Structure 1
Amino acid sequence: MTTDIKSSWRAIATPREHRVKLRAGVVGLGKQALEDHIPGLHASDGAKLVAVCDENPEIVREQQYQHRVQGYTDFREMFKAEHLDLVVVCVPHHVGRMVIETAAEHNVHVLKEKPFATNMQEAQALVDICERSGIQLMVTLQRRFNPIYTSFTQLADQIGTPFVVDAQYTLHIDDPSEGWRGLTSKAGGGCIIDMGYHLIDMILWYFGLPDRVLADVSVSARPDREYDAEDTALIHFAYNSGLYGSLLLSRFIGPKTEQIRLAGSKGMVYLERGRIRRMTNGGEVIEALSREQAWPSAAVGQIDYFCRAIEGMRPNASGPKENLAHMSFITACYESARTHAYINPKELL
């Protein structure tokens, strides 16, 4: 135990100029990569960007010249040509497994945009692939690197016995059928497995995997369009301890809202995207924490943390096995919506 603590302290104390940065590539040059991951890599102490890849050659040319790195339109060619230590994967959900398999063949570690997989069977297969190859895989769950969200449990300890959770994550997309996200065959589902993955992660992080899940979903927000990936979902969940709650997820209901409210016997905790408050049960604010910019360091923080996990200096708290719980919750939601019955997600593990 002493050796591990000393090793971790040395990792923290090592001056920036003495660390050898890991060579990183990015596959998929959409909004998430351009706004979060590539800037995060440039600011990282642990990794440096050396290659980018996207199926669109114009985007590749623009990004490779802008960042002075190698560019590819085929991720397989990128893995063959580059000696990468890690790759950031930001591709459509149905492409993720192919990129991970190729990365594993080349012993390249993977930082993957959510979701972990498109279904439970694929998730189990990815666990096996990572274990056989020995690579680290971490799912990007940025809220775990934001002090607004990490403060939640500290405040929750001060509100007595918690008994109900009310959570929402909604935004408005005019056409939920647009692109691959409207097709379950490519996305694995709609708002539950896609944007809802973040809020589900918060629920599991704060409270653990529920004992019962009951879900209803909608594909009716745009009856003039054809799509089968749910645009809206209402999910009820409960624990044998007595805690219960609900999640409202929607890709159609605006304005953009993200919140978790936990009520206890001696107060409430109210978490929003850039603010968290501890309140009385009557709504009086006792203490609060806010940030004008909610995400100034989350992208950099998760890249640096992943580098330390690769080097054995930190545990991989969002690895393949950990994300099986997320996939079991999501699978329980879809099975419940299909059968109109409560499902125990723990039985799906």
Structure 2
Amino acid sequence: MSKIKVGVIGCGSIAKHRHIPEHAANENVEIVAFCDIVEERAQEYADQYNAKAYTSFEELLKNEEVDAVSVCTPNSLHAPISIAALNAGKHVLCEKPMATSAEEADAMIAAAEKNGKKLMIAHNQRFVASHAKARSIIESGALGKIYSFRTAFGHGGPENWSADGSNSWFFKKELAFIGAMGDLGVHKTDLLRYLIGEEFTEVAAFVEGSAKENSTVDDNAVCILKSESGMIGTLAASWAYNGGEDNSTVFYAENGIMRLEDDPNFSLIVEYKNGNSERHSLGVIQSNEEGQQTDTHVVEHFIASILDDMTPPVCGNEGKKSLQVILAALKSSETKQIVRV
């Protein structure tokens, strides 16, 4: 079987820490092209992997050898580059948030369908061991009816992670479109949808930019979400958790409480109201902190969906549904109204 030949578009931190090593570790992949507007970045990886370097994504997409691309650019470029790649006959793995509007997301989905190519959005929270286990517990009915939840994703900000530090595109609205809500919040809307198996119907939110100087995007957001069946809960996304990362989710249900990534020793804890409890140590959740760069399994699922001709687990439609909750939160914050998704 011949290998899937991959091009990486955007060679910043997410490519460096996630996409490139995961493609390189996959026995079914050969990385053949790198593109970045900073030529040295693309060239450095090209030299390392015996691949071609580009400064123009259009030029990379003309390379007929390339079967699939990872789109690891600033958020505002996700849709235009993904659509161009799909129209060039390439499969696309796109970073989150997939787009800056529902219209852009629809155009990406349409391009994938028209060209018969795979489109996957890099929401990695679904593949965390504790989250996969939590979904099976919820589906089993052991918790009974879920009444409420709280989830948070916060750290000290992308300046500690981005290739460009405090001068990063993450802080520039014209490139990022959205701050902590797009960087972190959209991961949690995707996770919650996956865990509860329901869509969210209403959102109320405060989305603020108070913690980062020289930034034109949000860095602190708190949202209240309501699902189809009336489940309610909060989602917090922040670049101002300066003492360490919070990546926890807690469900409050008829038969007890389930805690995910909320305890340093156990990644999943269920405390039942009858006095029983279960504690699972299922390995660390991936994090930007040193030594926590675990495999996200995103590339693995993307490549498998191409080889097996299956719909990717986080396809364009899934990415759009998770994006729409975030867009509703922005609208709620602007209008001071509860917004229907």
Report the Cα offset of residue 25 of structure 1. Answer: 0.8
- CA separation of 1:105 and 1:240: change in aligned 2, threshold 3 A: closer
Please identify runs of 4+ aligned residues in structure 1 that moved more than 6 A: 174-177
1:217 aligned to which of 207, 217, 221: 207
Secondary structure class of the residue paired with 1:128: helix
TM-score by length of 2: 0.87
2:305 aligned to which of 305, 309, 317: 309
Following the alignment from structure 2 to structure 1, what is the Cα–Cα distance between the partners of residues 149 and 171? 29
Amino acid at match of 1:268: I
Q: In the alignment, which residue of structure 1 is the partner of 2:320?
A: 324
Q: In the alignment, which residue of structure 2 is the partner of 1:244?
A: 232
Q: In the alignment, which residue of structure 1 is the partner of 2:119?
A: 137
1:169 aligned to which of 140, 153, 168: 153
- The answer to whether the 8 Å contact 1:236/1:246 transfers is yes
RMSD of aligned alpha carbons: 2.4
The answer to whether 1:261 aligns with 2:245 is no
Report the Cα offset of residue 139 of structure 1. Answer: 0.5
- The answer to whether the 8 Å contact 2:208/2:220 transfers is yes
Between 1:121-130 and 1:276-285, the stretch displaced more is 276-285
1:45 aligned to which of 23, 27, 34: 27
**Per-residue CA distance 1:205-234 (angstroms, 9 max, x = gap):** 112221211001111224xx3433111001
**Per-residue CA distance 1:175-215 (angstroms, 9 max, x = gap):** 79743222333212111122212111101111222121100
Q: In the alignment, which residue of structure 1 is the partner of 2:289?
A: none
Secondary structure class of the residue paired with 2:41: helix
Report the Cα offset of residue 280 of structure 1. Answer: 3.0
Following the alignment from structure 1 to structure 2, what is the Cα–Cα distance between the partners of residues 257 and 81? 42
- CA separation of 1:272 and 1:159: change in aligned 2, threshold 3 A: same
Following the alignment from structure 2 to structure 1, what is the Cα–Cα distance between the partners of residues 144 and 281? 20
- CA separation of 1:211 and 1:95: change in aligned 2, threshold 3 A: closer
Following the alignment from structure 1 to structure 2, what is the Cα–Cα distance between the partners of residues 281 and 259? 21
Following the alignment from structure 2 to structure 1, what is the Cα–Cα distance between the partners of residues 84 and 3? 22
Q: In the alignment, which residue of structure 1 is the partner of 2:267?
A: 275
Amino acid at match of 2:146: P
TM-score by length of 1: 0.85
Following the alignment from structure 1 to structure 2, what is the Cα–Cα distance between the partners of residues 281 and 199? 27
Structure 2 spans left out of the alignment, 5+ residues: 160-164, 287-291
Report the Cα offset of residue 312 of structure 1. Answer: 4.2
Secondary structure class of the residue paired with 2:182: coil
Between 1:123-132 and 1:242-251, the stretch displaced more is 123-132
Following the alignment from structure 1 to structure 2, what is the Cα–Cα distance between the partners of residues 315 and 70? 29
Between 1:163-172 and 1:97-106, the stretch displaced more is 97-106
Q: In the alignment, which residue of structure 2 is the partner of 1:15?
A: none
- CA separation of 1:244 and 1:193: change in aligned 2, threshold 3 A: same
Among the aligned pairs, what percent are the same residue? 24
Report the Cα offset of residue 100 of structure 1. Answer: 1.4
Report the Cα offset of residue 40 of structure 1. Answer: 1.1
Aligned residue pairs, count: 324
